Amino acid sequence: MVKAVWEGGFRKAAAVSSLVAILLVGMKTSARVKLATLPDRAFLSLSLENPSRSFVQEERILTLQAGLNEVDFSWQGVRIDASAVLIEMLDHPDSVKLVAVRYPPGEDALVWEIVSAEPVTERVRVSYFLNGIRENYSYAAVADTEETRLDWRQYIRIENASGERLENLIVHTGIADPYQTELEAGEMRKTLVNKERIPLRKRFVWDAAKKPHDPSKEKKNVGVPIFYVIENSSAQALGRYPLRAGKVRVYQEDAHGSNAFLGEDWGRYTPVNGEMEIQVGESRDIVVTRKEISRVRNFERRDRDNRVVLYSERSVYEVTIENFRKEECEVRVLDHFSESWSVIESTHPWEKVDSRTLRFDVPVPAGDSVPLRFTIERRNLVPGGALG
């Protein structure tokens, strides 16, 4: 709360706002006319495009006299970087000029010295960085029964710990169209900012580095992770803004007009035309078994003591994918090898994603089992490891 006291004992308590602009219209001499106006905010916006700083812009109407005017801007109970407070003249930028900004010692305040060619009512835009605004992003997605489309909802939650009441606030998030809201001091508010019906791709991913290779030896079922994949592109009704990192909760419509919770995951920041992968759970109706079938040393070199110093070998692997579901599915198989390796042959198309990762996308018909068989050659190995 701000107390403002003017000449003549006129006292006005501005309980509404802790950000107060006081206009003192000065004549050139020290005997100023004390015109006490407390201009209301004509417009208030909060920009959250840069996650590191909350940027506030407000418009106010100032009544200026010809000559030098001093406008006092002060704030109590809120934290603002005084050196980054800006003022812009909107109506008469050529005849109303900022001459100087003065910063009094030990106060959360500044004084703008504004020169006007004639008496005017000037709309000004004041902007500053406001501390204490925290935002987070979340998503709720409801899949249809066929799991081909998602009802996609994006939310922003803003916590206003700035100490300032923000009324008639336009929020620019950078991830949706701007919207209007109110934020009491201390209030936290979650707002739906975007809602679309978007296509969904479902992906089963079995990773040899993360899952047991022989599920028949396990006491519990081994699940194959299920991902919902959405594309942030205009072709898929999104793609106008990036998607911020945030929690995604996934539900599915059930047969009774209600829906059930499938699972949740952290969605990563997804630029326009990027892809967001959301793990919803694991399927126990797909069983993947990986076996090394054979290993043959096809090259060997020995030193003068007849010890093996360098060799190459070929291994045959068989990955069996069983689909106990009622629909066909595509299972992504990731396998990992290190050092000098290459694929010699394979029953399915493959991609070397990087020097340690081999990837297959294998379609598996409903109720069927598909054997994936491939041969890897590892070269220039030394006993107990590899060169390089």
Partner 1 sequence: MSAERSRRRGEPRGAARNRWRFSLAVTLVLLATLAADSRVGLVTLPRRDEVQLTIYNSADITLVRERRTLTLSEGTNRLEFSWAGTLIDPTSVQFLPLTHRDDVSVRDISFPPGAPNSLVWILHSEVSGPVKVEISYFTSGLNWGSDYEAVLDPKAAAMDLNSYVRVENHSGETYEDAQVRLVVGTIHLVEKIADLARRGGRAIPPKVQAKFRNAVQRTAGIEFLAEAEKAVPPAAPEIIKEGLSEYFLYTVSGKHKVEDGWSVRWPNISVRDIPVENFYRDRGGGIERRGIEGPAGHPVRRYLKLKNDEEHKLGSEPLPDGTVHVYQRRQDGSRLFLGSSHSKYIPVDQDWEIEVGEDPDVLVKDVEKDKQVENVVFNSRGRPNGYDVHQLREISITNSRPFPIQIEIFRDFSGDFTLEGVSPAEKYDLDTVRFRRRIAAFGAERISFGVITRKGVRARR
Interacting residues with partner 1 between 71 and 100 (CB under 8 A): 72, 83-84, 86, 90, 97-100
384 φ/ψ angles, rounded to the nearest 5 degrees: 80, 10
Q: Are 378 and 339 in contact (CB under 8 A)?
A: yes
**Residues numbered 323-342 forming contacts with partner 1, rule: CB under 8 A:** 339-340, 342
In terms of CB distance, is 94 or 217 closer to partner 1?
A: 94
> CA 325, CA 314: separation in Å to the nearest integer?
35
In terms of CB distance, is 87 or 262 closer to partner 1?
A: 87
Beta bridge partners of 57: 45, 127
180 part of the interface to partner 1, by CB under 8 A? no
Can you tell me which of 119, 145, 168, 174 binds partner 1, judged by CB under 8 A?
Answer: 174
Sign of the torsion formed by the C-alpha atoms of 21, 27, 28 and 29? negative
Q: Are 283 and 224 in contact (CB under 8 A)?
A: yes
C-beta of 78: minimal distance to partner 1 in Å? Answer: 17
340 φ/ψ angles, rounded to the nearest 5 degrees: -75, 90
Collapsing DSSP to helix, strand or coil, 118 comes out as: coil
> CA 140, CA 142: separation in Å to the nearest integer?
7
**Residues numbered 24-53 forming contacts with partner 1, rule: CB under 8 A:** 24, 28, 30, 32, 45, 47, 49-50, 52-53
199 part of the interface to partner 1, by CB under 8 A? no
Count of residues engaged in binding partner 1, rule: CB under 8 A: 75
Can you tell me which of 16, 65, 70, 361 binds partner 1, judged by CB under 8 A?
Answer: 70
386 part of the interface to partner 1, by CB under 8 A? yes
67 part of the interface to partner 1, by CB under 8 A? yes
Can you tell me which of 235, 355, 366, 368 binds partner 1, judged by CB under 8 A?
Answer: 355
The residue type at 149: R
Residues ≥6 apart with Cβ < 8 Å to 52 = none
22 part of the interface to partner 1, by CB under 8 A? yes
In terms of CB distance, is 259 or 357 closer to partner 1?
A: 357
C-beta of 59: minimal distance to partner 1 in Å? Answer: 9
The two tokens of residue 179 are 């919207």
Q: Are 182 and 188 in contact (CB under 8 A)?
A: no
Nearest by Cα to 49 from 244, 201, 212 = 244
Find tokens 């939310």 and name the residue: 155
Sign of the torsion formed by the C-alpha atoms of 382, 384, 386 and 388? negative
In terms of CB distance, is 103 or 261 closer to partner 1?
A: 103
Which window, 135-143, 200-208, 266-274, 323-331, contacts partner 1 (CB under 8 A)? Answer: 266-274
Nearest by Cα to 376 from 334, 332, 336 = 336
C-beta of 192: minimal distance to partner 1 in Å? Answer: 22
C-beta of 284: minimal distance to partner 1 in Å? Answer: 26
Q: Are 126 and 60 in contact (CB under 8 A)?
A: yes
61 part of the interface to partner 1, by CB under 8 A? no
Binding mask 267-306 for partner 1 (x = CB under 8 A): -xxxxxxxx-x-----------------------xxxxx-
> CA 244, CA 268: separation in Å to the nearest integer?
7
Binding mask 102-131 for partner 1 (x = CB under 8 A): xxxxx----x---x---------x-x-x--
379 part of the interface to partner 1, by CB under 8 A? yes
The two tokens of residue 45 are 């916006």
In terms of CB distance, is 47 or 289 closer to partner 1?
A: 47
